[in-house]
């Protein structure tokens, strides 16, 4: 098991973190996974950063993965979850040089531990349902499917999406 730690990203780490995201975007695109049709803009990632939603997973002081974690209601899944804030993993990306080492798994566990410290009881995420790649990955981490639906985003693109949830309780 890898031994790293999760913490909020600092301003000087922003560019490196955004590069990790862009590399993950290209990797998914090359695999034919349409999780992100177009990359989020630098300004959108900066907005998340200013809200303290961006975290990094570090091993020996090296940024190995990034994750955006929010606590908010969602308009896309309001019929299933209501309009109350929920903990969401809204983006996870592992550094190209660290893929295949279990760092994504460790990052998700670290996020769950962090949410537990805030008395959170569950974590949600949604991902594209095409090819089953991402739902299978998150399923292997203990997330279960809550619902499926087609979602049309502001870009006008429609995706088959799956809502997933994990009860985290106490450790």
pLDDT in tens, 44-54: 888 888 888 99
- Return the sign of the alpha-carbon dihedral for residues 166, 22, 132, 73: positive
Question: Is 0.85 topped by the overall pTM?
Answer: yes
DSSP 8-state code for residue 40 = P
What CA–CA distances, in Å, run from 65 to 106, 112, 169? Answer: 10, 15, 24
The Cα–Cα gap between 88 and 104 comes to: 16
Domain at 5-167, CATH class: alpha beta
pLDDT in tens, 62-108: 999 999 999 999 889 999 999 999 999 988 999 988 877 889 999 99
What CA–CA distances, in Å, run from 22 to 18, 44, 81, 121? Answer: 6, 13, 30, 31
Can you give the residue ranges of every domain in the chain? Answer: 5-167
What CA–CA distances, in Å, run from 78 to 56, 65, 82, 83? Answer: 28, 29, 5, 6
Q: Is pLDDT above 90 for 128?
A: no
Question: What is the token pair recorded at 166?
Answer: 């994990």
Q: Is pLDDT above 60 for 1?
A: no
Bridge partner residues of 93 (DSSP): 66
DSSP states along 122-135: EEEEEEE-GGGHHH
Residues 6+ apart with CB under 8 A from 166: 112, 122, 123, 141, 142, 143, 144
């Amino acid at each position: 098991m890898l031994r790293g730690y999760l913490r909020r990203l600092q301003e000087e780490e922003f560019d490196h973190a955004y590069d990790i995201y862009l590399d993950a975007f290209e990797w998914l695109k090359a695999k034919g996974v349409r999780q992100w049709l177009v990359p989020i803009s630098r300004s959108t990632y900066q907005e998340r950063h200013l809200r303290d939603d961006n975290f990094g997973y570090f091993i020996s002081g090296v940024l190995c993965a990034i994750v955006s974690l929010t606590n908010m209601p969602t308009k896309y899944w309001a019929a299933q979850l209501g309009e109350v804030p929920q903990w969401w993993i809204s983006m996870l990306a592992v550094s190209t040089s660290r893929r295949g080492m279990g760092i994504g798994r460790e990052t998700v566990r670290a996020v769950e531990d962090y949410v537990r410290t805030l008395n959170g009881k569950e974590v949600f995420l949604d991902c594209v349902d095409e090819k089953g790649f991402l739902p299978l990955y998150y399923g292997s981490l203990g997330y279960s499917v809550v619902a499926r639906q087609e979602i049309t985003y502001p870009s006008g693109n429609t995706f088959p999406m799956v809502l997933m949830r994990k009860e985290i309780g106490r450790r």
